[in-house]
A and B are shown apart, each in its own frame.
Chain A
């Protein structure tokens, strides 16, 4: 009995101590909580160029660690967020930003979905207009009306 109790305690303690897994190591953190929060915010928008689909905040790659430390050093030295992003873009290009910048070369990216939506709507309107016209284009001819009434009579008989 006591063994089961002890075992369940161990299991429970594991459940309690579940923490979000972070790549940021304790010794990297800044003492100032405000700066640290900014550092986390910035790192979440900086791509780890080794793993490429992770931010440097999530990645365990050594380059990600180097960049995390670099971001924190710059913050401590009083750099603004934009200065830090610019510093990285100068070296690695826009690809290092997880949130692509809005500029002429990315207009297709940002406006693309809107253009597709407009084209889609236009085509829908065109198609619907056409089908409406097809139904009410012209009245039935004499011959058509006769054959229609014949068909209806047949239906009534059965």
Chain B
């Protein structure tokens, strides 16, 4: 009994080592934080449509069926890479794809969509980035699925 207790610190040590080694081996990004909004209702939004020819949406339009809401910006590099994937998703038509144009200039956003194609069914504009905070957004556009 007296001797087995000395194994305890060693076990704790290996426990701690394992706990901290797993994320390193898995190469998971420590900066990625789990969203606080999982399983919660979509935040209310009353954003204006990005431009006239396209309908906007509010939180009520997201009820019923699955919708992928994508924050995008013409100034955002990774969005360009992501855009190909969005185009594919819109062709597959398995989910509805809505866009929120984040802190962008309308003209730049329209040029972006006409250059790269427009995968979105509906688009609203979040000019001051306030809606992005409601969605738990970080420093650049992010995907949210409902």
Contacts and interface: CB of A to CB of B under 8 A. Distances in A.
Q: What DSSP secondary structure best describes chain A's contact surface?
A: helix
Contacts of A90: 36
B53 interface: no
Interface residues of B, number: 22
Interface string B1-45: 010011011000000000000000000000101111100000100
A106 interface: no
B35 A93 contact: yes
B136 interface: yes
A67 B133 contact: yes
B32 to A, nearest CB: 11
Task: Choose among A63, A70, A91, A95 the residue with the greatest number of B CB atoms under 10 Å from its CB.
Answer: A91
Contacts of B135: 91
B31 to A, nearest CB: 6
Nearest to A50: B139
B129 interface: yes
Contacts of B139: 49-50, 61-63
Interface in B92-146: 128-130, 133-139
Q: How large is the interface on A (under 10, 10 to 19, 20 to 34, 35 or more residues)?
A: 10 to 19
A76 interface: no
Contact of A93 (B5, B36, B134): B36
Given A49-B33, A52-B31, A90-B36, A70 B138 contact: no
Contacts of A52: 31
Task: Choose among A61, A66, A89, A95 the residue with the greatest number of B CB atoms under 10 Å from its CB.
Answer: A66
B77 to A, nearest CB: 15
A50 to B, nearest CB: 4
A126 interface: yes
A91 B136 contact: yes
Interface string A43-61: 0000001101000000001
Nearest to B36: A93
A114 interface: no
A92 interface: yes
Given A63-B138, A70-B133, A93 B33 contact: yes
A91 B37 contact: yes
A123 interface: yes
15 contacts: A49-B33, A49-B139, A50-B139, A52-B31, A66-B133, A91-B43, A91-B133, A91-B134, A91-B135, A91-B136, A92-B36, A93-B35, A93-B36, A93-B136, A126-B2
Given A63-B133, A89-B36, A93-B36, 13 more contacts: A49-B33, A50-B138, A63-B139, A66-B128, A66-B130, A66-B133, A70-B130, A70-B133, A91-B43, A91-B133, A93-B35, A93-B136, A95-B33
Interface of B: 2, 5-6, 8-9, 31, 33-37, 43, 128-130, 133-139
